[in-house]
Amino acid sequence: MLSRWLEKRQENASAGSGPGLFGTKEPRHSGAWSALRKRLQSEPGLRVIDTGYTSPTNINYLTGLGQSIFLTDLVYDAWTGDWKKGEDEDGNPIWDVEGYLARSLDFAGRTFDVVLLWTALDYLPEALVAPVVTHLATAMNPGGQVMAFFHTKTQGDEATRFRYHVTDTDDVDVQLTQQFPIQRAFTNRSIERLFAGWSGHRQFLAKDSVSEVIMTL
């Protein structure tokens, strides 16, 4: 069902379009959201980072539970900011990692309990992936959790970038947003390496070439 809906909507979200959201929302079952939602419903006063284009749905839902929310569109900031600073001797781009982190993940000393990372790591330039994870870890409280989705394919409809909207059910709503080229597909082993040193790793099965994990600090 999702692929048929995607065919009708994807033409409205070309790489040249501006930031934003396109078309209708489509429900998608999420085991990770189901698990994390239970914590959010039972522990008011948490600080949450939500990555992606601004979602009034997410803001209203989370603040309605008594949580505070910080918004940052990591992928858009990475590809539209002036972070490329030339190339090395092998022709690989040099990225201003510290500048990017200061721009997109400046928390002014605040610490957080939950990160809704979604699929951001699939679309970030390689040089930014590990620093983003490390930076998040330093800004999280003990027991903090990151919910992340990872594509298992980099071709076709499965590589499409979506914005995710939370609901009060076990579904999240997906909606097309500005497209950027997918950079990689993660395996279970590469996810574990990226989050090495974190105390917990819970994986959830999905049916749409996107795996889900909750990492606990």
pLDDT in tens, 166-175: 999 999 999 9
Q: What is the mean pLDDT of residues 27-47?
A: 97
This prediction has a pTM of: 0.91
Q: Say which range, 21-25, 55-59, 135-139, has the weakest mean pLDDT.
A: 21-25
Containing domain of residue 7, as a range?
2-216
Q: Each residue of 110-137: pLDDT tens digit?
A: 999 999 999 999 999 999 999 999 999 9
Beta-sheet pairing, 84-87 with 68-72:
unpaired
Q: What is the pLDDT of residue 7?
A: 40
| Alpha-carbon span 165 to 145, nearest angstrom | 18
> How many structural domains compose the chain?
1
Terminal C-alpha separation, the chain: 36
Q: Minimum mean pLDDT among 110-114, 192-196, 202-206: which range? A: 202-206
Q: What is the CATH number of the domain that holds 14?
A: 3.40.50.150
Taking residue 123's Cβ as centre, other Cβ atoms within 10 Å add up to 22
Q: At what angle do helices 126-138 and 97-104 cross, to 10 degrees?
A: 50
* 8 Å CB contact between 214 and 137: no
List of residues 6+ apart from 100 with CB closer than 8 A: 77, 78, 81, 83, 128
pLDDT score of 142 more than 70? yes
